[in-house]
A and B are shown apart, each in its own frame.
Chain A
Amino acid sequence: MPPVETPVEKWAGKIHEVNLGGDARRLVVGGETTLPFLHFEGAIPHPPAVAVEVQDRPPASWAPELRASWGEAMEDPASWAKKAVEYGADLIVLYLSSAHPDDQNTGPQEAKKTVTRVLSTVDAPLIILGPGIAEKDNEVLVAAAEAAAGRRVALGFCEQKNYRTIIAACMANNHVAVAKTPVEINLAKQLNILICDMGLAPDSILMDPTTGALGYGLEYTYSVMERLRLAGLQGDKMAAMPMFCTVGEEAWRQKEARATEGIPAAWGDIATRALRWEELTAMTLLLAGADVVVLRHPQVVQRIKATIQKLMTKE
């Protein structure tokens, strides 16, 4: 019987460490020199962070279960963020949803106001996302970037078709960019290269490989993330950005998290199923290398926080 040797892989690379937040509360993500939670092999200096999604106006389309869980806090993004921090959020994702032309079509002034209010209410680092329409994103994110100067927030989404203005705003105010690409490793790397070409440092980028929820393309996200992480650890610096996943949004968009009528008994009751849907999506992507998971339900936040802690504890 040959002795059992611990099979350790030697990785040449290291995931970039991205600093977020102001003096009052800093957060670092990334820095891994091994695959997720394999403590026997390398360093995992910072646990993955749990972010809570807060919208700048009450999200009428959210599932009733979700809306009930936050209650009145949703009326005001600052109090919502405050409550999220109480539930354990490491950072806040602030969606400027109201800026969407089909929503309230709010502009840079409103964005500035919202960001300032949230920043003055919570110390937790912020990730600010635009409504996803290029023109509006550029408008409100530039304003948000100025309002958040000195607090090193992350701004998104930079996409291949629209990233330059957001990156310029990041560079002007020392912020971090969230680069989003559609579930493809080479596109992810390419966008990172393009962003770095503009002059933003590699340690100022989070990459969002696009999240597919459990049952809705999760396996694609999972494998793209595994490949990105492997490439990063093998020394490809343009694949070594910490990864960011919009878990809550994707999980709660699906029928499984919303449907209450006319569904098979095998689906189980809505609350159990919906929460597990979000949790398992998060869990799986954490194992693929997610460094920031954005969640929606307070109970899920607590459970995933606790689970990360267990995964970070060498037993």
Chain B
Amino acid sequence: MSKFIASAAIRGGQEIVKEADQLLKETLEKYGPEQKVGFANTAYYLPVIYAYTAHKVEKLGDMIQPMEQAKALLPRRMPTEKLWLPYLGETLDAGVATLFAEEIISGVRHVMGVQPEKQNGYTYNGPIDDIQLRTWGIQLVDGRMPGFAAIVGRAKTNAIAVKIVRELQQRNILIFLSGNVNGKGIVEQLLEEGVELGYDTFTVPFGSDTISAIYALGFAARSALTFGGMKPGQAKDVLLYNKNRVHAFVLALGEVDDLKYATAAGAITYGFPTIADTVIPNIMPTGITKYEHVVSMPFDDIPGNDDMERAERLIQRCIEVRGLKLQITKVPIPVSYSAAFEGERIRRGDYQVEFGGRGGVTFELLLSKKLDEVEDGKITVVGPDLDAMPVDSNQPLGVVVEVAGRKMQKDFEPVLERQIHHFVNMAEGVQHIGQRDIPWIRIHKNSVARGFRLRHFGDILYARLHADFGAIVDKVQVTLYTKQDKVRELREQARQVYNERNERAANLTDESVDTFYSCTLCQSYAPTHVCIINPERVGLCGAYNWLDCKASYEINPTGPNQPVPKGAVIDESKGEWEGSNRFTYQHSQQQVNRMTLYSLMDAPTTSCGCFECIMMIIPEANGVMILSRDDPSMSPVGMTFSTLAGMAGGGLQTPGVMGHGKFYILSKKFIPKEGGFKRVVWISSNLKEELAEGIKEVCQRIGEPDLMDKIADERVATTVEDLVAFLETKEHPALSMEPIIQ
């Protein structure tokens, strides 16, 4: 915490407490302790005091106790050069004392009949009543309103004041206005510009001084009591509720005086950070607030071509600091956008432009960047647009999506990048196939005629990435390139990224991570089945790998993919950990005590029903066979895939039989305890052909380069007898391994 701020806040607190104390004494003398006190139309008394202490202020006399509390809270000592105190706590105490004092003053003002405040013929709003609290509260709780901004002070110019309010309104953020700098405040600025203020426009002018900003915190306190089910007096819970659920921030415009510092310190106890447009010390470490506590963005130093751009950036930064999540529900493009267009075909003759395909040059790349490197919503088209391209021509296209987010990880890039296909395809008149450097896109003449342009790709990606991946993506910026040379040049860079990603995926081992992920999607029909997905083993269905699950968990923390901490190792060669066992036990209705991830014979993974392959031992051949889901023929054990699946599926753990994803065959963690790939004596031919390249590599790796030809399939053996005969002729190594059944 900055000593400068601490000193100012404590000073401000001392002064306002003194002022309140004095005012209260005078008013008590004038009206007596029995005089009724209260804000209009609320059941929460003086709400900040009520929420903090459960003390009900109904009469003037009831204010004495909180006044004394405010005094007691005030730190006695100031930080000095020599006295080096851990003064965060004291500053916050001063902040709370300030809030009490400000609320007491507001209460007194009600008694004196000067609330709501009237000035120059304008009547301010004063505190918000309970009915409006409920209406807005529901929207704040359900997310339609991302949060509220408490603006205090005065903008540099009237135009900037208007711009700030418009930027917030556009995002559905509720705006509370109060305070002034040298006698003039933002409310006056807005009135001068003819801005409509009031409940209907989400703007509430509380009053002309800093003290009236207390109504914003009263609103927040009542939210916790109304929507959080908190009881008055549960101060900590009320504050935590505000920190975690009431997404508010303070925007201090213009010079920050001691009282503003003191009030801001009070707001910080609610978890509301302060952003100032003047030079003040930053308090960057997080703690009481979710992210930074105090952020200074001197207005004139904000990058931008003019004040309007600077105002935009200021608001952008406020949203980041508080971590507001915006809801985007509509994709703003001139053609229809829905799942119904996903499978649309655009035929030759119908399209205006084609990108990619045979000989075309295209790529799509999604990169994660730092927060300050991405300008949210910025869409740029570099090169000619659709309407400038010859009809029926093939054109180059490069799509670069840059995203930033506090929870974004480099590993999620490919997961998000794959979504481009799905997102873009849903636009009417757009056909999209492929990804990375092979996208093939056609755009229908009619869509171009209706105004569809390349920037709408950006609009689609911006809207959908926010809507579907808002949990990890805070900012999205899209650039589209259509000049041949530039696209070629960038495609080379993109290919480097793809290669790096491939390598990273290849090097991702089970040993290199401490967390696996679960998948319980199949429990609807296999109630005791739990998939544990590790980097070197895909889910049984083949549809989910470890990275997918990791991203899925970040996006949907209560969903079917949960983190499974490995915990202490029990047997590395079988793939057994305490953590995975514990998770499996808890999520299998306590049916499966142990589950090894790599062993076929000892507590193998349970099998759901949608596995791509099923593996079973053949004792006579001293090996295992792998049967593909797509192979309807008879296997050497005398059972077809469906019979075997019926026997072992449904969440059962059957030593000797195991469902798995097809790429597990190529994994280094392929049944190592049983001897690895050398044990494989039979594979469905379709699978063998599909994975031929990979299998050859595995054979090389394990030092059996000829093994591929020694493995039987349904074309040479559908009985145990034929199989064994085949293996003997070929001298399959499994025959001379140690017995598979111990």
Contacts and interface: CB of A to CB of B under 8 A. Distances in A.
Direct chain A–B contact by Cβ atoms under 8 Å: yes
Interface of A: 138, 142, 146, 164-165, 167-169, 171-172, 183-186, 190, 193-194, 197-201, 227, 230-231, 234
A197 B241 CA distance: 11
B274 to A, nearest CB: 26
Contacts of B559: 190
Interface string B188-232: 000000000000000000000000000000000000001111000
B143 interface: yes
Given A142-B138, A190-B559, A231-B589, A171 B524 contact: no
Most buried by A among B139, B142, B229, B589: B142
Nearest to B527: A227
B333 interface: no
Contact of B523 (A168, A172, A185, A199): A185
A99 to B, nearest CB: 18
B228 A171 contact: yes
B520 interface: yes
A168 B527 contact: no
A199 B241 contact: yes
Interface of B: 134, 137-139, 141-144, 226-229, 241, 245, 520-521, 523-524, 527, 558-560, 589-590
Nearest to A193: B558
Chain A to chain B: the 4 pairs with minimum beta-carbon distance, closest first: A164-B142, A168-B141, A168-B138, A165-B142
B226 A172 contact: yes
Given A164-B141, A171-B226, A231-B589, A185 B527 contact: yes
Nearest to A162: B142
Given A146-B134, A234-B590, A194 B558 contact: yes
A186 B138 contact: no
A168 B137 contact: yes
A240 to B, nearest CB: 15
B520 A199 contact: no
A190 B527 contact: no
B249 to A, nearest CB: 21
Contacts of A193: 558
Contacts of B589: 227, 230-231, 234
Contacts of B520: 186
B527 A198 contact: no
Nearest to B522: A186
Contacts of A165: 138-139, 142, 144
A199 B229 CA distance: 7
5 contacts: A168-B139, A172-B134, A186-B521, A199-B228, A227-B527
State the main secondary structure of chain B at its contact with A. Answer: helix
Most buried by A among B137, B141, B229, B559: B141
A284 B512 CA distance: 51
B524 A201 contact: no
Given A146-B134, A171-B226, A227-B527, A186 B142 contact: no
A186 B562 CA distance: 12
A172 B142 contact: no
A263 to B, nearest CB: 33
B141 A198 contact: yes
A184 B527 CA distance: 10
Nearest to A190: B558
Contacts of B144: 165
A184 B139 CA distance: 29
B552 to A, nearest CB: 13
Given A186-B560, A193-B558, A234-B590, A167 B228 contact: no
B227 A164 contact: no
Contacts of B524: 183-186
Given A172-B137, A193-B558, 4 more contacts: A168-B139, A168-B227, A171-B229, A186-B521
Contacts of A198: 141
A237 to B, nearest CB: 13
Contacts of A171: 141, 226-229
Most buried by A among B138, B226, B527: B138
Contacts of B521: 186
A154 B114 CA distance: 43
B143 A201 contact: no
A109 B690 CA distance: 63
Given A146-B134, A186-B524, A199-B245, A172 B558 contact: no
A110 to B, nearest CB: 19
Nearest to A201: B229
A107 B524 CA distance: 38
A184 B523 CA distance: 8
Nearest to A236: B586
Contacts of A231: 589
Contacts of B523: 185-186
A309 B558 CA distance: 39
B272 to A, nearest CB: 18
A92 to B, nearest CB: 25
A234 B142 CA distance: 32
B590 A167 contact: no
Contacts of B226: 171-172
Contacts of A234: 589-590
Nearest to B135: A142
A231 B527 CA distance: 11
A186 B560 CA distance: 8
Contacts of B241: 199
A172 B142 CA distance: 12
Contacts of A146: 134
B527 A172 contact: no
B488 to A, nearest CB: 43
A168 B558 contact: no
Nearest to B523: A186
Nearest to A138: B142
A246 B438 CA distance: 51
A194 B559 CA distance: 10
Contacts of B141: 164, 167-168, 171-172, 198-199
Contacts of B227: 168, 171-172, 199
A142 B524 CA distance: 33
Nearest to A187: B524
A168 B142 contact: yes
Contacts of A186: 520-521, 523-524, 560
Contacts of A227: 527, 589
A200 B227 CA distance: 8
A169 B590 CA distance: 37
